[in-house]
Structure 1
């Protein structure tokens, strides 16, 4: 169902639905429990020129490597965005900010999986809301430069902690290449995070399953 948000106070929302609510259906779906709902906010922001520039910069980097024409890969990645995120047909001239970020995510994921190089300045210019950390954890890439990386820990492994038997769950981790990881140790964790404006991710059981993170063995500490 769809509706409009007309009021909000703290975590209490007032929503006017576009059609009458079928209480019989609600009760049937709730199966005797308190009904729960999922709230999705429509993204009415339009793609920015900067996002569009990043998308085509990545596609051009890919085509420089493969020799293909940009139009081919643009259509391939649009299809993947529609299939992966369940969005309708869209144009890069007027799609939403969210859809543009989906496009960047799909392209980068492909480049990482196929080990296709792209310009570091494109990586540096990705917006702060872009899910860099999860993308890098999935593909073992440095969150700062996109180079190959291993998992680094916010709290050092050692000092009585058996690194061969520690679970990732509950640990704060990130992915850093050897150069940035060495810099982190020299500067200290807090100074390093302040310099690069990044925060580690706390690994939950769900994230560990999603990223297939089990017991720590040969990761960077």
Structure 2
């Protein structure tokens, strides 16, 4: 469980939980004893409560999708992470901020590659950074809501130009579902990205080719000044 400290009075504190308390689970974990809780305050060096919250939210969605217990899901993903990256074993209780970020990104990439869906609430917690924006374009998922089979949208206007003749390496893109794509045109590009705090990105040449936006031949023609 995660929350924010809202008040301190002597040796008593008040915590506002991020989610509604599940009394059944609490009683099960306590096993008839008086529940004991641990308070950890973010110090900027170790994994933050916000990072743990995001990671465990993603692991819960993965567990629901696969049928695993969330704790088994955590251990399975850690072992897979160790094998793939050569990382040393770590604990989500006291690992570094950098390790937590790398593990979160690893989980995110795994879910994209295996088409594991996130609940809307979980998706809203994932940082909308460059890596997420690129993965959404690669896997055609809306960067705002995670909806699959979404549109690759030119943030940089192409206008009436023949798209086959445009050098897309210089343009910025975002992946949007039909609903958000329509809203983007209604609000205008600037107001839209300010509302959702997203950052359109440039795509690598390999991504442009894989997404059938450009061909290597067209890139070579542009570079050689043939068009």
Q: Which TM-score band (shorter chain)?
A: 0.5 to 0.7
Deviations 1:102-145 (Å, cap 9, x if unpaired)? 22222222222332222111111223557321221222211111
Provide the aligned C-alpha RMSD in A.
2.4
2:61 maps to 61
2:206 maps to 209
- Deviation, 1:86, is 4.2
2:26 maps to none
CA contact (8 A) 1:141 1:175 kept: yes
User: Using the alignment, how far apart are the partners of 2:191 and 2:125 within structure 1?
Assistant: 22
- Deviation, 1:59, is 1.4
1:191–1:103 distance in 2 versus 1, CA, 3 Å: same
User: Using the alignment, how far apart are the partners of 1:216 and 1:106 within structure 2?
Assistant: 27
Aligned residues: 170
CA contact (8 A) 2:48 2:97 kept: yes
- Deviation, 1:73, is 2.3
Q: Which structure has greater helix proportion? A: 2
CA contact (8 A) 1:166 1:215 kept: no
1:97 maps to 97
User: Using the alignment, how far apart are the partners of 2:86 and 2:206 within structure 1?
Assistant: 23
Compute the TM-score of the two structures, normalised by the length of structure 2: 0.65
1:169–1:60 distance in 2 versus 1, CA, 3 Å: same
Q: What are the ranges of 5 or more consecutive residues in structure 1 without an aligned counterpart?
A: 1-43
2:188 maps to 188
